[in-house]
Amino acid sequence: MTHRLLVQYGRPTDPAAFDQHYRDVHVPLAQKIPGVVRFDIGHASPLDGDAAPYLVAMLDFESAEAFAAGMQSAEGAAAAGDVPNFATGGASMSHYDVEDFTA
């Protein structure tokens, strides 16, 4: 079963600097986390006028155990330690087992 890390970033004080750091520094760090089998990002847009996260990232692992091992690794610590360097709008992280309802 897929286990997913969901990261939602708030609007940064300097969106261009955020985007550059995220793509040039943070993505390569996150790609090195052991056990990551898929890594997607996207700039979110609200549907109903409420505030949406500035950027959403989803990192998939094969299992909750693979997620825990990856996040506890030196590479996971390096990626997590980088977040304060660019996420001036804050970041919310959560994880869960994915239930796929695709037909």
User: Which domain, by its residues, includes 51?
Assistant: 3-97
Q: What percent of the chain has pLDDT over 70?
A: 100
- Does 8 map to a domain? yes
Residues 6+ apart with CB under 8 A from 33: 59, 70, 71, 73, 75, 76, 79
CA–CA–CA angle 92, 61, 93 (5° rounding) = 5
- Does 73 map to a domain? yes
Number of domains the chain contains:
1
pLDDT at 48 exceeding the cut of 90: no
| Three-state secondary-structure class, residue 18 | helix
Mean pLDDT of the 56-74 span = 98
Distance in angstroms (rounded) separating the CA atoms of residues 44 and 54? 6
- Does 56 map to a domain? yes
- Does 102 map to a domain? no
Q: Assess contact for 86 and 25: CB atoms under 8 A.
A: yes
**Global confidence as pTM:** 0.92
CATH number at residue 86: 3.30.70.100
Strands, E assignment, the chain: 3-9, 36-43, 55-61, 91-97
pLDDT of residue 83: 97
- Does 66 map to a domain? yes
